[in-house]
Amino acid sequence: MATPNTSQDETPTPVPTPSLLPPGGDEPQKPKSQKELARERAKAEKLAKFNAKKAKQAADKAAAPAEPKEKKEKKKAKSVLEFVYVEETPKGEKKILKSLDDNAYKSYNPAVVESAWYDWWEKEGFFEPELTEDGKIKPEGVFVIPAPPPNVTGALHIGHALTIAIQDTLIRWNRMLGKTTLFVPGFDHAGISTQSVVEKTLWRKEKKTRHDLGREKFTALTWEWKEEYHNRIKEQLKKMGASYDWSKEAFTMDENLSKAVVECFCRLHEDGIIYRANRLVNWCCALTTTLSNLEVENEELTGRTLLSVPGYDEEVEFGIIVSFAYELEDGSDKVIVATTRPETMLGDTAIAVHPEDERYKHLIGKKVKHPFVDRLLPIIGDDYVDREFGTGCVKITPAHDANDYAIGERHKLEFVNILNDDGTLNEACGGKFAGMPRFTARKVVIEELTKLGLYVETKDNPMQVPRCAKSKDVIEPVMKPQWWVSQKAMADAAMDAVRKGEIKIRPEVPEKEYFIWLEKIQDWCISRQLWWGHQAPAYYIHLENELVDGCGSDAERWIVARTPEEAQKMAEEKFPGHKVTLERDPDVLDTWFSSGLWPFSILGWPKDTKDMENFYPNTVLETGWDILFFWVARMIMLGIKMTGKVPFTEVYCHPIVRDSQGRKMSKSLGNVIDPLDLISGIPLADLHAKLLAGNLDLKEIEKATRFQKTAFPDGIPQCGSDAMRFAFCAYTTGGRDINMDIKVVEGYRKFCNKMYQATKFALMRLGEDFVPRADSKLTGKESLVELWILHKLNVAAQKTNKLLEERNFSDATKAVYSYWLYELCDVYIENSKSLILDGTPEQKRSVQDTLYTALEGALLLIHPFMPYVTEELWQRLPRRPGDKTRTVCKAAYPRFVPEFENEKAEQDYDMVFEIAKGIRSALSACDIKDKAEVCVHANDADTFKTVSEQLSSIKALVKGLESLTLAQDNQVPSGCYVNPLSSKVSIHVHVAGRVN
C-alpha cells in the first residue's frame, strides 16, 4: 500500500538486485606541413558532415506533423520540478531546514536534499578520526581505508562511483559503530597516462612536442593540468558523499611521498633487490618508454588481420608467417627460415637448428650471408629448436626476441639493436633501411627478398600481438639498460601473508589468481623514459676529461643516493684522487612503484609518525580485481619489505562496471557515464555534444550517438548521489561484472521518495510538540503490531551488520530495503494511522514512541548507503532527552537488541498481515472494490483470539471494507467466495446477490 502524500510519478517500483591547457606564448607559428594541413582538412570535413547530419534531422523534425495538444500537455505534466533551487545556507554552516510544506520540499528532489550538508560535515571535522583523550584508538577499535588514488589524467567515470559507494558505506558503517575511522583521500600522478594526454593536447593546441618546450617547461605545464583535474575530481568525490578526512589528502608527488619513493629505492638497492641491467624490455614506440609486462595486452589473432597502429595511415598486416632463405657463405646451399616479423631479420645474428636434426647437423659451424648488411650469421645447434615446427631452422634476433635473447646469451652471439626509440630503423640496418618506419620496412624487406629470389611464401598464422594498454601501439622487445626489481623473495613473503591469514582476499577467485601470478613472477623493470614522475635517485659518474654523452653503460659508475650531496660524497670516495661530476638518470620510475608505497607513505613513512602507530596496518584495501597485480600485490610485497608488517588485513575486489548490454565502457561506444551526469541528470543533446569534444572519428561518433539514443532516449534522469550509491551496492554480488542499467538507479530514486514521504507522514503523526522517551526500552504496553515492527527492526539490524561484515553488499541492501518498504511503510505506518487517530491517549503515545524508534532505526540503518537523504530527514526528527548527537554520521548504528526479539509476535502478526493480503487477493478475484463484506474463519482458539484482537489492524490494511467479521467452528456464512490461507484460517467474501 502506498503511504499518503506520495506523488503519483514517484511510487517505488520493484528494483532488481542487480580549455585544459593555456595557449602558448607569442612565438611565431611554424609553417604547417602538408600532412598537418591534410589532417586539419579531414577534421573540418568530419565536423561539417556531423553538423549537416544534425541539421537534416532538425529539419525533418520541424517538417513532421505537430503533436496533438493533449499529448504535449501530458508530457509537460510528467516533467521534473520547473524551478531552480538556490541554497540559502552559508557555505560550511549547518543547513537551514525549511518547512516540508515549502515548494522545494513537498516532494523528494535530490538537488534540494543533497545541498549544503557536505560542506558542513567537512567544516565540523566529522570525517576526521576520533581518538581518546590521550591520542589512542577508541576501545571499539580502528577501521582504515586507504582510497585507491584516482589518476589526474581526467575526470572520474562511473567505475569510480562504484568504488566510492562500497568504500564509503564501510567507513560510515564503522564510524557509526563507534570505531576510530580513517578514510584517506589521494590522487595519483599516473606518469604515462598524464604525460600522454598533455602531449596530445599540446600538439593539438600549439603543434608542439614536449621537446620543443624542454623538460622544465613541459613539467610545469603538466603540473597545471594536474591542478585543474585534481580540483575537478575532488568536487566529484564530494558530490558523491565520500567521507574522506581531507586534512590527510595526499598526492603521489607530494614532498613526503616523494621522499618515501627515494627511501624505498635506496633501501632496495642497498639490499641488492634493485639492480641495473641491459636486458630486453617492452618498448612502446608511440610513447617512447618501457612498460612492465602487466601494461602489455596480448591481442589474439586467428590468421591474417589488418590492425590500426599509431603513426601509420594504412593498417598493418599481422597474423601471417613469412618464409625466406638465407644463402650459405660459399653459395653452395640455402636454409629456409620463417618469421612473423620480417623486418627483424635485419637484426638476425645466427641461424639455429636442433643439434640432432639429421637434415642440418652437417651445417652447424658454417655461416650464411645476410642479404642486406655486411654480416655473417653462424649456424648453431640448440635444443630449444623444435625439429617438427616449420623447416626446423630458426632465425635468431637476440636483441628483439625473448627466446632468442636466451639463445644469444648461451652462445655468446652478437646483440644487434635495429630500432630507434620512435620505431624507425637505425644505421645497423644499412643505408637502404635506416630511418624507415618499422612496419614500412616490413613490406620493403619482403619486396627486396623477392628481387633477390630469397622470398619463399606467406601463410596465415594464429598468433598474439602485444599491444600497449595506453596507446594501442604494437610493443617491440628492445635491449635497454634499465633499473630492475628482483621480486621472487618479496613474492614468497606476500604469498605467506595470505596463506597464514594475515591478509584475507575476497572473493575467492581473485585470491586464487593472486597465487598463480606470484608463483610465476618475473623481475620488474621500473625505468620509464618519461619526464612526468619520480626521477630515479641514481647518478652516473663522469671522470675529468672524459667525453660526456649521457649516462654510460658502465655499471660501476652508477651511484644511488638519497640526495645529490650524498651522491657526490659517495662518488668522490669511490674514485679518490679524481675530479668527478654527476649526471642524474633522466628516467622516472614506474607509477606503480610509488603507488605500491601508498598504505604507509600516506601516513608519513619513512618518518616514525603517530599516524603510522595508530593506523598501520590499514584495515581494508578495496579496489577492482583488474589491478590486483598492478597494485595490490606490489603494495603487499613492498609493505612487508619496508615496514615488516602487512600493509592491510583485507583486500576486497569489486566487480567491473559494464553498460546495460554487457560491453566494456568506452568513449568510442558512447557508454561512458560521468557520475555527475547520473546525479544531476543530462539531456540527450548534451550527451551527444560530449562526443564531439573528444578525439573520435566520424564513424565512432555516429556509432556512439546511436547507442546513446537507444540507451538514453530521454537523456539521463536526475537520480541523485544516494540512489546511485545504493544501486551500486545492490549490484555488488561478488561477481566479476556489473551490467549497469540507468533504470535501476532511477528505481532507487523513487525509493528515496518513498522514504521521504514516509518520514513526512510520520512527523505529521508525531506532531510538532512530540518529545521521544529517553530510551527505546519496552514499556509493556505495546500492541502486537508494535512488538512486530520492533522485532523486524531487530532482524534487519542483525542481518545488515552481519552482511556488511561479510562484505555481502547486495544482500545488505535487500535487508534494509525490505525493512523500509515492506515492513515500516507498507505495514506499520499504515497500521499506526487508526491507532494514532482513534486510539486511547495511552495507545496513541505508545504507537508514536514505537513509530519514532522504528523510523529513526530505519534512517540509521540506511545512512551508510544513502548519507544525504538520511541526514536531511534525521535532522528533522526530535532528539531523545540527553542525546547530544549533532549528525547522523556519528549516531549509533542499530544493533541486535535482545529485548526486541519476539518470534511469537512475529508469527502472530505475520498471520494477521497474511490475512490482510488474503482479503485483498480475494476482493481482486471477485472484482470487488468497495462495500465488501468479509468474514475471517479461524479453526482454533489461539488463532481466533489473535485475529479478534487485530481486527482493527486488518481493517487499516485493507481498503473498501463494508464489514469485517470473525467466525469460528461452523459459523461461516453461505454464498461466499472462499480463499483458504492455511489449515488455521480462511477468508470468506460475500458474493451472493451482490451487484457491483
The CATH fold assigned to 742-901 is Isoleucyl-tRNA Synthetase; Domain 1 (1.10.730)
| Rounded mean pLDDT, 501-508 | 93
C-beta separation of 732 from 810 below 8 A? yes
* Residues in contact with 510: Cβ distance below 8 Å, sequence separation at least 6, in sequence order: 625, 628, 651, 653
| Rounded mean pLDDT, 300-320 | 95
Q: How far apart are the first and last CA of the chain?
A: 23
Q: How confident is the model at residue 16 (pLDDT cuts 50, 70, 90)?
A: very low
The pTM for the full model equals: 0.86
SS3 695: coil
* Residues in contact with 719: Cβ distance below 8 Å, sequence separation at least 6, in sequence order: 110, 678, 679, 681, 742, 745, 746, 748, 749
* Residue 260 burial by Cβ neighbours in a 10 Å radius (0-12, 13-18, 19+): buried
DSSP E strand stretches across 370-503: 376-381, 393-396, 455-460, 463-468, 476-485
pLDDT the model gives residue 40? 54
Sign of CA dihedral 293, 299, 301, 304: negative
* Residues in contact with 725: Cβ distance below 8 Å, sequence separation at least 6, in sequence order: 161, 164, 165, 168, 169, 240, 241, 865, 866, 867
Q: How confident is the model at residue 81 (pLDDT cuts 50, 70, 90)?
A: very low
Give the C-alpha separation, 380 to 364, whole Å: 5
Q: Provide the pairing of β-strand 961-968 with 932-938.
A: parallel
| Rounded mean pLDDT, 270-288 | 95
Q: How confident is the model at residue 667 (pLDDT cuts 50, 70, 90)?
A: low
Which residues is 144 bridged to in the sheet? 182
The CATH fold assigned to 296-471 is Isoleucyl-tRNA Synthetase; domain 2 (3.90.740)
SS (H, E, C) 173-199: HHHHCCCEEEEECEEECCHHHHHHHHH
Give the C-alpha separation, 590 to 470, whole Å: 14
Whether 55 shows a pLDDT value over 80: the answer reads no
DSSP code of residue 825: I
Give the C-alpha separation, 473 to 360, whole Å: 38
Distances (CA, A) of 731 to 506, 736, 865: 16, 11, 13
Give the C-alpha separation, 35 to 910, whole Å: 77
pLDDT the model gives residue 271? 97
Q: How confident is the model at residue 29 (pLDDT cuts 50, 70, 90)?
A: very low
C-beta separation of 535 from 585 below 8 A? yes
Give the C-alpha separation, 196 to 191, whole Å: 8
- Condensed to tens digits (0 to 9), the pLDDT of residues 240-261 reads 999 999 999 999 999 999 999 9
* Residues in contact with 92: Cβ distance below 8 Å, sequence separation at least 6, in sequence order: 119, 120, 122, 123
Q: How far is CA 418 from the centre of its chain?
A: 40
Which residues is 560 bridged to in the sheet? 538
- Condensed to tens digits (0 to 9), the pLDDT of residues 653-663 reads 998 888 777 87
Whether 43 shows a pLDDT value over 60: the answer reads no
pLDDT the model gives residue 78? 36
Q: How confident is the model at residue 969 (pLDDT cuts 50, 70, 90)?
A: confident
- Condensed to tens digits (0 to 9), the pLDDT of residues 335-376 reads 999 999 999 999 999 999 999 999 999 999 999 999 999 999
Give the C-alpha separation, 294 to 632, whole Å: 13
- Condensed to tens digits (0 to 9), the pLDDT of residues 726-774 reads 999 999 987 778 888 889 999 999 999 999 999 999 999 999 999 999 9
Q: Which of 50-54, 73-77, 85-89 has the lowest mean pLDDT?
A: 73-77
- Condensed to tens digits (0 to 9), the pLDDT of residues 669-686 reads 777 889 999 999 999 999
Distances (CA, A) of 403 to 339, 347, 383, 650, 946: 13, 14, 12, 39, 82
Give the C-alpha separation, 345 to 442, whole Å: 10
Give the C-alpha separation, 848 to 766, whole Å: 6
Whether 334 shows a pLDDT value over 80: the answer reads yes
Give the C-alpha separation, 975 to 963, whole Å: 16
Give the C-alpha separation, 749 to 837, whole Å: 31
pLDDT the model gives residue 694? 63
DSSP class per residue in 34-93: HHHHHHHHHHHHHHHHHHHHHHHHHHHHHHSPPPPHHHHHHHHHTS---S-----SPTTS
Whether 79 shows a pLDDT value over 60: the answer reads no
Give the C-alpha separation, 534 to 646, whole Å: 25
pLDDT the model gives residue 72? 40
Whether 12 shows a pLDDT value over 50: the answer reads no
pLDDT the model gives residue 388? 87
| Rounded mean pLDDT, 931-935 | 93
Which letter, b or e, does each residue of 873-909 get, where b requires 16 or more Cβ atoms within 10 Å of its Cβ? bbbebbebeeeeeebbbebebbeebeebebeebbebb
Distances (CA, A) of 360 to 334, 337, 363, 367, 380: 11, 13, 5, 12, 10
Find, among 589, 588, 482, 592, the residue nearest to 531 by Cα: 588
Chain-wide mean pLDDT for the chain? 89
Q: How confident is the model at residue 283 (pLDDT cuts 50, 70, 90)?
A: very high
C-beta separation of 740 from 657 below 8 A? yes
* Identity of the residue numbered 492: D
pLDDT the model gives residue 41? 53
Whether 22 shows a pLDDT value over 50: the answer reads no
* Identity of the residue numbered 861: L
* Identity of the residue numbered 626: D
Give the C-alpha separation, 800 to 732, whole Å: 15
pLDDT the model gives residue 152? 92
* Residues in contact with 258: Cβ distance below 8 Å, sequence separation at least 6, in sequence order: 534
Give the C-alpha separation, 935 to 954, whole Å: 12
**Angle at the Cα of 937 from the Cα atoms of 936 and 943, rounded to 5 degrees:** 100
**Angle at the Cα of 562 from the Cα atoms of 558 and 568, rounded to 5 degrees:** 55
* Residue 555 burial by Cβ neighbours in a 10 Å radius (0-12, 13-18, 19+): exposed
pLDDT the model gives residue 973? 83
Mark out the alpha helices in 806-902 (DSSP H runs).
Answer: 809-818, 830-838, 841-862, 867-874
Whether 38 shows a pLDDT value over 80: the answer reads no
Find, among 486, 483, 514, the residue nearest to 641 by Cα: 486
The CATH fold assigned to 110-252+594-731 is Rossmann fold (3.40.50)
C-beta separation of 221 from 202 below 8 A? yes
Cis peptide before 713 (omega within 30 of 0): no
Give the C-alpha separation, 675 to 336, whole Å: 58
Domains of the chain, by residue range, sit at 110-252+594-731, 261-293+478-493+523-592, 296-471, 742-901, 916-990
Find, among 747, 490, 526, the residue nearest to 644 by Cα: 490
pLDDT the model gives residue 146? 95
- Condensed to tens digits (0 to 9), the pLDDT of residues 682-739 reads 999 998 888 887 656 787 788 888 888 888 898 999 999 999 999 999 999 877 788 8
Find, among 456, 458, 422, the residue nearest to 439 by Cα: 422
Which residues is 317 bridged to in the sheet? 306
DSSP code of residue 424: B
Q: Provide the pairing of β-strand 376-381 with 350-353.
A: parallel
- Condensed to tens digits (0 to 9), the pLDDT of residues 167-222 reads 999 999 999 999 999 999 999 999 999 999 899 889 888 999 999 999 999 999 99
Q: Which three cell numbers stand for residue 930?
A: 468497495
SS3 924: helix
**Percentages of the chain per state (helix, strand, coil), in multiples of 5:** 45, 20, 35
SS (H, E, C) 653-674: EECEEECCCCCECCHHHCCCCC
DSSP E strand stretches across 308-358: 316-318, 320-328, 334-339, 350-353
For residues 86, 89, 90 and 94, what is the CA-based torsion angle, rounded to 10 degrees?
A: -150
* Residues in contact with 259: Cβ distance below 8 Å, sequence separation at least 6, in sequence order: 606
